[in-house]
Amino acid sequence: MWLKNNKIPMIFGFSLLEIVIGIAIVATLALLGISIYQSYSQKSNREIAKTVLRQDAAKMEQHYSQYGSYLDNSNTWPDNYIESYINGTTGAIYSVSFVPAVPTLANQQVFNILASPVQDSIQSSDPSGRLCINQTGNILENATANCATTGNSWNSDLCAGNITTPPAVATCAYDDNCSNNTICGSCSAGNGFPGSCSGSYIGGACSGDCSGSFIVGNCDGNCSNSTVCGSCSGDCSGVNQNGC
C-alpha cells in the first residue's frame, strides 16, 4: 500500500522576535538621524550667532573710534548697538546682552557681549553653551553668565609674562571694584568683607565672594558657578573643574 506524501504548506512571514528586532533597528536609526540633524542645526545656529556677535563688535569698534570709549557720554552702554535676540530657522535661539549690564568706568576700554541660548530652544542643549565676544574680537564658547570662561580666558592675555596690562590689576582685596574684573593675582573680598570678586578672571587664589568667576588657583568661600582650577572649599555648587 502506497502512502501519499502529505505536504504541509509553508507559512511565509516574520516571527514576533524578528518583528521586535526590526522595530528596535528602525527606532535606533531614527534616533541617530534626529541626533545628527540636531547637531547640524545647533552648529548652523551657532555660526549665525557668531556672525551677529562679530557685527555687534564691529559697531562697538566704530563707536570707540569716534568717541574714544565704548560707553556713551553718560558712561552707559550705547543704545541700539546690539539686538535683543538672534533668530535662527526656528525663531529666537539666543538672547543678547552686554556684560556687565551696568558698566563700570573700566568698560570705557573693554566690553563683553554675551549670547545666551534661549530656554527650550534647540540651542538650549548645545554643548557650546553661551557665546561671548570682547573687544579683541575673540569669541568664547561655554562662557559663564559673566563672560568668564570654562577654559583658558582671553583675560589671561592681560596677565601674560608677569606683566599686568590695563584694565587688569595685579591683586584685589576688600574693594567694590573687584567684581567683573581681570585680576592677575589673588582676590579677597565679600562674605563679611567689603566688595566682591564675583564674575572675574582671577589668576591666583580667591576667597570671599568668588561666584561666577574663572579661578586659576584655589577657591575658599562662595565659589558657586565658577571654574576652579585648584581646590574648592565652601559653597562649591555648580563648580566646574574640567575647564582648566
User: 40 and 101 share a domain?
Assistant: yes
User: 54 and 165 share a domain?
Assistant: no
User: Which residue would you say has higher pLDDT here, 2 or 226?
Assistant: 226
What's the pTM?
A: 0.54
| Residue 8 located in a structural domain | no
The enclosing H or E element of 39 equals: helix 16-67
User: 32 and 93 share a domain?
Assistant: yes
pLDDT of 228 reads 86
User: 74 and 178 share a domain?
Assistant: no
Residue 55's pLDDT band (boundaries 50, 70, 90)? very high
Of 143, 178, 213, the domain-final residue: 143
**Owning domain of residue 111:** 18-143
| Residue 210 located in a structural domain | yes
- Cα distance between residue 238 and residue 227, in whole Å: 9
Question: What mean pLDDT comes out for the span 120-135?
Answer: 89
- Cα distance between residue 16 and residue 14, in whole Å: 7
User: 91 and 203 share a domain?
Assistant: no
User: 25 and 132 share a domain?
Assistant: yes
| Residue 241 located in a structural domain | no
User: 120 and 160 share a domain?
Assistant: no
User: Which residue would you say has higher pLDDT here, 52 or 243?
Assistant: 52
pLDDT of 152 reads 42
User: 126 and 176 share a domain?
Assistant: no
User: 93 and 188 share a domain?
Assistant: no
| Residue 129 located in a structural domain | yes
Residue 32's pLDDT band (boundaries 50, 70, 90)? low
- Whether the pLDDT of residue 19 is over 60: the answer is yes
User: 24 and 130 share a domain?
Assistant: yes
- The closest of 87, 67, 86 to 77, measured between CA atoms, is 67
Of 143, 164, 186, the domain-final residue: 143
User: 27 and 88 share a domain?
Assistant: yes
- Whether the pLDDT of residue 142 is over 50: the answer is yes
* Per-residue pLDDT tens digits for 191-239: 778 889 988 888 899 999 998 888 889 999 999 888 888 899 989 988 8
User: 167 and 136 share a domain?
Assistant: no
| Residue 76 located in a structural domain | yes
In a 10 Å sphere around its CB, with 0-12 CB exposed, 13-18 middle and 19+ buried, how is residue 94 labelled?
buried
Of 115, 143, 171, the domain-final residue: 143
Number of structural domains (the chain) is 2
